[in-house]
Amino acid sequence: MKQFVVLVAGGQGTRMQGTLPKQFLPLAGEPVLAHTLRRFNLPGLEIILVMHSDYFEYWKELRQTLPEIPEHSLVAGGKTRAGSVANGLSQVPAGSLVAVHDAVRPLCSKELIYRLFDAAEKNGSAVPVIPCRDTLRLLDEQGSRTVPREKYCAVQTPQVFYTDVLKAAFQLPGTEQFTDEASLFEAAGNTVHLEAGEESNVKLTFPSDLILAEAFLRGENQF
């Protein structure tokens, strides 16, 4: 079965307090996006990169300066994350498996990617999660209260599905309200299969996340 990944790099990265979208910010001397693309440089896996069309030329010029960037298709993003994913999915053929991944998660291991595709082929979906480390409080009209963290987990990407089933889920009304594909997939009546994620698979949202990612990279390069 053919395998695809839709890398979502459509955001502007305003919380990172930079002038460029965060996928272009430097991580260990290279753009975040370069690190992410290399993680998905796997045999038989086709890469679809979704980004704001304003940055197409910028990226095409930048990639010429970077070594070992795998071949990929470039697709214009939508006004929202869901719109960007839908645009990427439109390029994925039926009868395949597709992963959807945040381009600003540059440290997912190739072992995790392989494991998620295998699990999705067996179970219909595969979504990586990690335990919550911190104490959690639920905010409501009465104020807040502690909830048992062992009943919760943090959700990561890549999230892998049968392409036809995920595309059908995107036909639901109100897709823009969903913050990840697993939520939409579940709302369409499908069962989400969870797999163990990785602590190093951090999403770069705030400036401090770049420091953490660089530390993980240094740790990888020591072995």
Q: Spell out the domains of the chain, with CATH numbers in brackets.
A: 3-221 (3.90.550.10)
* pLDDT for residue 16: 42
Backbone dihedral angles phi then psi of residue 124, each to the nearest 5 degrees = 90, -15
How large is the average pLDDT for residues 77-95? 95
DSSP state of 101: E
Distance CA 120, CA 128 (A): 11
* pLDDT for residue 208: 92
* pLDDT for residue 18: 53
pLDDT surpasses 80 at 11: no
* pLDDT for residue 13: 43
Distances in Å between the Cα of 87 and the Cα atoms of 61, 84, 95, 131, 167 are 23, 5, 18, 32, 11
Distance CA 52, CA 12 (A): 9
Q: Which of 47-51, 116-120, 172-176 has the lowest mean pLDDT?
A: 172-176
* pLDDT for residue 14: 45
Distance CA 42, CA 45 (A): 6
Going through the chain in order, the beta strands assigned E by DSSP cover: 3-9, 26-27, 30-31, 45-51, 73-76, 97-102, 125-131, 136-140, 143-147, 153-155, 159-162, 194-196
pLDDT surpasses 70 at 115: yes
pTM: 0.93
* pLDDT for residue 180: 95
* pLDDT for residue 220: 81
pLDDT surpasses 60 at 62: yes
* pLDDT for residue 19: 72
Backbone dihedral angles phi then psi of residue 73, each to the nearest 5 degrees = -90, 145
